[in-house]
């Protein structure tokens, strides 16, 4: 049974997840923009347009060809102006001792600015321990399932991911999944693979509609090309936002 976001606040314990729910309630949007563009200016222009409609901005900071730390300053400013949080989709997938450095050092210093990060669980719990040891106040999202055709996350893998999350509730705050993977209302489900006008990209991505994603258990829908390849990204984001939020309200109505 899906609970309204206001009730979820009673179960969700991670401070960042609580913060995200408060943004969702303030702005009436559970849309996350996956801003997979490759220049700083494209990214800033996109966020400037779409910012009012999202609760969360998902970045792939390593695809920005002209990255400088100034970009982070500007994104942080926009996140305050438009009231959204930032999720760096780094998909950590290495030993605890390696991810410590990938998370906190290097060019991007992800631990100094992200609100959420994610990790593959194929490594085992050491990855959670490693990331946690250098985290500031981030919430960790575990990749329990993937939207790509032929991916190897079977039911056993998914349930192992859930167990790992249950073992570290102070750091893990939710899952990347294609449908609800746990009845535990304290974890948030972030669902990628959402597109209104297409069902696939020819490279393995599988898309469902916003309402289908919500009906399968998404708390937050993640949308990339459906929005940033649109000729009117703001209008299109508004459409995704309204479809997803209406589906969520319908599902949680008494």
Q: Which stretch binds ligand 5IU (CB under 6 A): 7-15, 49-57, 187-195, 246-254?
A: 187-195
Sign of CA dihedral 163, 165, 169, 175: negative
Q: How far apart are CA 217 and CA 239, in angstroms?
A: 20
**Residue span 191-210 as binding mask against ligand 5IU, x where in contact by CB under 6 A, dash where not:** -xx-x---------x-----
**Residue span 137-166 as binding mask against ligand 5IU, x where in contact by CB under 6 A, dash where not:** ------x--xxx------------------
CB atoms under 10 Å from CB of 109, counted, come to 14
Q: Which stretch binds ligand 5IU (CB under 6 A): 47-55, 134-142, 220-228, 239-247?
A: 220-228
User: In the beta sheet, which residues pair with residue 31?
Assistant: 221
Q: Which stretch binds ligand 5IU (CB under 6 A): 123-131, 160-168, 219-227, 232-240?
A: 219-227
| Residue 251: burial class (beta carbons within 10 Å; 0-12, 13-18, 19+) | middle
Number of amino acids touching ligand 5IU (CB under 6 A): 18
**144, 222, 244, 247: which one contacts ligand 5IU (CB under 6 A)?**
222
Active site residue 246: no
User: In the beta sheet, which residues pair with residue 142?
Assistant: 119, 175
174 binds ligand 5IU (CB under 6 A): no
Cβ contacts of 41 within 8 Å, gap of 6 or more: none
Give the residue with the Cβ less far from ligand 5IU, 51 or 224.
224
34 binds ligand 5IU (CB under 6 A): yes
Q: How far is the CB of 8 from ligand 5IU (least distance, A)?
A: 22
Q: How far is the CB of 9 from ligand 5IU (least distance, A)?
A: 26
Inter-CA distances, 139 with 35, 82, 151, 231, 252, Å:
20, 21, 25, 33, 25
46-50 long-range contacts, Cβ below 8 Å, gap at least 24? 46/228, 46/233, 47/75, 47/78, 47/82, 48/78, 49/233, 49/234, 49/237, 50/227, 50/233, 50/234, 50/237
21 binds ligand 5IU (CB under 6 A): no
75 binds ligand 5IU (CB under 6 A): no
* Binding positions for ligand 5IU, 38-67, rule CB under 6 A: 60
Q: How far is the CB of 253 from ligand 5IU (least distance, A)?
A: 28
189 binds ligand 5IU (CB under 6 A): no
* In the chain, beta strands by DSSP E: 31-34, 56-59, 85-92, 116-120, 139-143, 172-176, 188-191, 220-223
Active site residues: 91
**Residue numbers of the site for ligand 5IU (CB under 6 A)?**
34, 36, 60, 89, 143, 146-148, 176, 192-193, 195, 205, 222-226
């Amino acid at each position: 049974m899906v609970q309204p976001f206001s009730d979820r606040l009673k179960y969700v314990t991670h401070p960042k997840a609580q913060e995200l729910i408060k943004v969702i309630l303030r702005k009436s949007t559970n849309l996350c923009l996956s801003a997979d563009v490759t220049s700083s200016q494209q990214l800033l222009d996109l966020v400037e347009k779409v910012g009012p409609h999202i609760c969360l901005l998902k970045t792939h900071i390593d695809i920005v060809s002209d990255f400088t730390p100034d970009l982070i300053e500007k994104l942080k400013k926009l996140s305050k102006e438009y009231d959204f949080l930032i999720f760096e989709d780094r998909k950590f997938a290495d030993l605890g001792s390696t991810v410590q450095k990938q998370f906190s050092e290097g060019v991007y210093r992800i631990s100094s600015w992200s609100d959420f990060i994610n990790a593959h669980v194929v490594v085992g719990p050491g990855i959670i321990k490693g990331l946690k040891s250098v985290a500031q106040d981030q919430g960790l999202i575990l990749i329990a399932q993937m939207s790509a055709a032929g991916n190897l996350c079977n039911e056993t893998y998914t349930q192992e991911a859930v167990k790992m999350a249950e073992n570290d509730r102070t750091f893990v705050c939710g899952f990347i999944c294609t449908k609800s993977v746990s009845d535990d209302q304290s974890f948030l489900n972030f669902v990628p693979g959402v597109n209104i006008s297409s069902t696939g990209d020819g490279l393995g991505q599988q898309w469902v509609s916003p309402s289908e994603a919500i009906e399968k258990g998404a708390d937050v829908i993640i949308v990339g090309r459906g929005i940033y390849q649109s000729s009117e990204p703001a209008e299109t984001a508004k459409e995704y936002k309204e479809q997803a939020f209406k589906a969520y309200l319908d599902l949680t109505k008494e």
